[in-house]
Amino acid sequence: MAAGGKRARRAPRYRVVASELEGEHATVVMDASGDGFVAAVGTIPAEGRMQGELGGAGQADVQAHIALLIANESEGDRARSAGRLLTR
């Protein structure tokens, strides 16, 4: 217990659920929990200008590691075939 008999507050955790929407039907494509998250969603309408929203929560270092994971994944085979991974 923390000083004064109070219980130490646990760090928040997050659950992110993403669904694919087809008309009235929703299919869960991701359901994950963790100490932080980075999420983005976007649409490119006919005029071609990206419209998007970005959100995230958790400690800055956790979000930074998630962002690196996303960057490394988006680099895909190019990063692995070059024998490197993106680093901070």
The C-alpha atoms of residue 38 and residue 17 are separated, in whole angstroms, by: 12
Number of structural domains the chain divides into? 1
Whether 3 is covered by a domain: the verdict is: no
Q: What is the pLDDT of residues 20-71, one digit of tens each?
A: 999 999 999 999 999 999 999 999 988 889 999 999 999 999 999 999 998 8
Whether pLDDT at 13 is above 60? yes
Whether 5 is covered by a domain: the verdict is: no
The C-alpha atoms of residue 26 and residue 30 are separated, in whole angstroms, by: 12
Whether pLDDT at 86 is above 50? no
Whether 21 is covered by a domain: the verdict is: yes
Whether 41 is covered by a domain: the verdict is: yes
Please measure the distance between the N-terminal and C-terminal CA atoms of the chain and give it in whole angstroms.
36
Q: Which of 88, 61, 55, 52 is nearest to 72 (CA)?
A: 88
